[in-house]
Amino acid sequence: MSAAHTLHPAVQLAATEGASEHRPLIITLFAAFVVATLFITVWAGRQTKSASDFYAGGRQFTGFQNGLAVSGDYMSAASFLGIAGAIALFGYDGFLYSIGFLVAWLVALLLVAEPLRNSGRYTMGDVLAYRMRQRPVRTAAGTSTIVVSIFYLLAQMAGAGVLVSLLLGITSDAGKILIVALVGVLMILYVTIGGMKGTTWVQMVKAVLLIAGTLLITFLILLKFNFNISDLLGTAASNSGKGAAFLEPGLKYGATGVSKLDFISLGIALVLGTAGLPHILIRFYTVPTAKAARKSVNWAIGIIGAFYLMTIVLGFGAAAILKPGDIIASNKAGNTAAPLAALEIGGGSGSTGGAILLAVISAVAFATILAVVAGLTLASSSSFAHDIYANVIRKGQATEKEEVRAARWATVAIGIVSIALGALARDLNVAGLVALAFAVAASANLPTILYSLFWKRFTTTGALWSIYGGLASSVLLVLFSPVVSSKPTSMFPDVDFAWFPLENPGLISIPLGFLLGWIGSLLSKEKPDADKYAELEVKSLTGIGAH
């Protein structure tokens, strides 16, 4: 194939240059998305009156609508830009992300979504604390919700800063901070005005845009190879300079025994993380019944599965039509491989087709980030208002109005915190932060969710040990891992306090979270609350008395 050699030499800076040539087009598309979504937000805000409207969108969405919104909430910058980039750079090893992110949905479908919908009301903490002493467990659930969401938010903000500034050709620090601040302000507006209803519609629009944009690029790449996948893979392999190894596992994780363990650790975190992500779990409250929640997950599995299948073409396609040196020159982590592939497949740098496709894909990436940060902000502010403010600080005596007001103020506070952190973290590794959020969710949240629903001897002590133990161990292990120090790619490359060799803590912290919940329950003197368990179990399986 000659495709690999038709690149203009200036493609190294293609994203930046292509963008600056056609910056008006990109800005117009960005602005169109912002205006449309703000319009939706204001419209949704007018219909948001009760606490149930704000937290759960009035529980009036259909299974399909919510499935679309779940997909929009789940497919983040890490999915879209990160996976395509990882495959483009490391070949097959990048594909594990797609598989783990998808298979993970079965845990949600078989064990979590329906019981959660039946027994909870607004937050993950509703289910975690159901059988337990309310104040300590809600405090723990709120803490872990906010920690997981902030890590996830940080990744999206850092991604937004890097990506948008690159595409708009903004290179100054002040410009990048301005972009992060803009994203932060938009997400505060979406959530405070539109609540769950507005956020859900923004996520649905984004999901449609993301699928349509990805389909278009996938189709064009396949067309270039006459729909011959084998040919596409072969070209990617030879063009990568790695040969057949590019199509085999091991290029990134196969080097040493430790890196292989890291691969297992990442694999476990991915597959067990999803069902513990608060911003995903609260989406199931937006439908009226458990049956509709099941339908949402099925739609989500279909949509997300189709999307991840396309990441194969996107990633290997980028490797086939771009030079690996160009991908790395544009972004070390490969995060711009998908936009670069769009530019190239549309006719290359300087062509109108390329510029239009680049603008479309950039706008899709921007929409992706905005919809996900809105979902994350809503999850953490809901948990603060409902779990910590209403049930811990006000001991269940707050009125609905006071609760929603607290949620809106919490949104503003979390928005400001993430703008500040995002501005500081704009040079950090995005994929590492997302995998960390998955590992923390699987270690701190999933054990307590599963024990609460299915194990009658589970106690408050067990829940607290599991949540705090899983949270502390996963965060501390990352702090002392190569993600933070010791390597050139670390957050602090010049110091070395990394005594934990793995980049992902899941291999240790997830079993620890399960173990602590079990030991804590067996060692505590308190008896499990049998009456409350009867209530939770009957509710979770039948939906009697569900809100």
Partner 1 sequence: MATDAPPPEGTSPGGPAQPTTEAFVAMQASPEFADLRRSHRSFAFPLTIAFVTWYLLYVLLCNYAGGFMATKVVGNINMALVLGLAQFATTFLIAWLYSRHAATKLDPKAEAIKSRMEADV
Nearer to partner 1, 253 or 451 (CB): 253
Q: Which of 31, 32, 36, 99 binds partner 1 (CB under 8 A)?
A: 99
Q: Rounded to the nearest whole angstrom, what is the least distance from the CB of residue 232 to partner 1 in the complex?
A: 8
Task: Return all residues near 547 (Cβ < 8 A) that are at least 6 apart.
Answer: 52, 59, 121, 285
Longest CA–CA span in the chain (Å) reads 72
Q: Which of 110, 185, 258, 522 binds partner 1 (CB under 8 A)?
A: 110
Nearer to partner 1, 291 or 332 (CB): 291
386-405: contacts with partner 1 (CB under 8 A): 390-392, 395-396, 400
Determine the angle formed by the axes of helices 352-383 and 63-74, rounding to 10 degrees.
100
Nearer to partner 1, 45 or 288 (CB): 288
322 neighbors 340 (Cβ within 8 angstroms): yes
Residue in 53, 56, 42, 39 with CA at minimum distance from that of residue 379: 56
Q: Which of 67, 72, 82, 100 binds partner 1 (CB under 8 A)?
A: 100
Tell whether residue 105 is a contact of partner 1 (CB under 8 A). yes
Q: Rounded to the nearest whole angstrom, what is the least distance from the CB of residue 540 to partner 1 in the complex?
A: 10
Helix (H, G, I), strand (E, B) or coil at 485: strand
Tell whether residue 234 is a contact of partner 1 (CB under 8 A). yes
Tokens of 448: 């307590």
Q: Which of 55, 152, 307, 308 binds partner 1 (CB under 8 A)?
A: 308
406 neighbors 388 (Cβ within 8 angstroms): no
Site size toward partner 1 (CB under 8 A) is: 76
On the 0-12 / 13-18 / 19+ scale of CB atoms within 10 A, 494 is exposed
The residue type found at 96 is: L
Please state, in angstroms and rounded to a whole number, the distance separating the CA atoms of residues 338 and 264: 27
Q: Could you tell me which stretch among 22-30, 76-84, 241-249, 463-471 binds partner 1 (CB under 8 A)?
A: 241-249
Please state, in angstroms and rounded to a whole number, the distance separating the CA atoms of residues 133 and 7: 64
Q: What are phi and psi of 492, to 5 degrees?
A: -120, 85
367 neighbors 42 (Cβ within 8 angstroms): no
For residue 185, the tally of other CB atoms under 10 A from its CB is: 13
The residue type found at 390 is: A
323-352: contacts with partner 1 (CB under 8 A): none
Q: Rounded to the nearest whole angstrom, what is the least distance from the CB of residue 460 to partner 1 in the complex?
A: 9
246-305: contacts with partner 1 (CB under 8 A): 247-250, 253-254, 260, 263-264, 267-268, 271, 291, 294, 297-298, 301-302, 305
Nearer to partner 1, 104 or 372 (CB): 104
Tell whether residue 36 is a contact of partner 1 (CB under 8 A). no
Q: Could you tell me which stretch among 23-31, 123-131, 219-227, 438-446 binds partner 1 (CB under 8 A)?
A: 123-131
Nearer to partner 1, 325 or 545 (CB): 545
Tell whether residue 224 is a contact of partner 1 (CB under 8 A). no
Q: Which of 193, 237, 292, 374 binds partner 1 (CB under 8 A)?
A: 237
135-154: contacts with partner 1 (CB under 8 A): 135-136
Nearer to partner 1, 30 or 384 (CB): 384
* Sign of the dihedral through C-alpha 439, 153, 336, 432: negative
C-alpha of 30 from chain center: 21
Q: Which of 172, 174, 230, 488 binds partner 1 (CB under 8 A)?
A: 230
Q: Which of 106, 222, 328, 424 binds partner 1 (CB under 8 A)?
A: 106
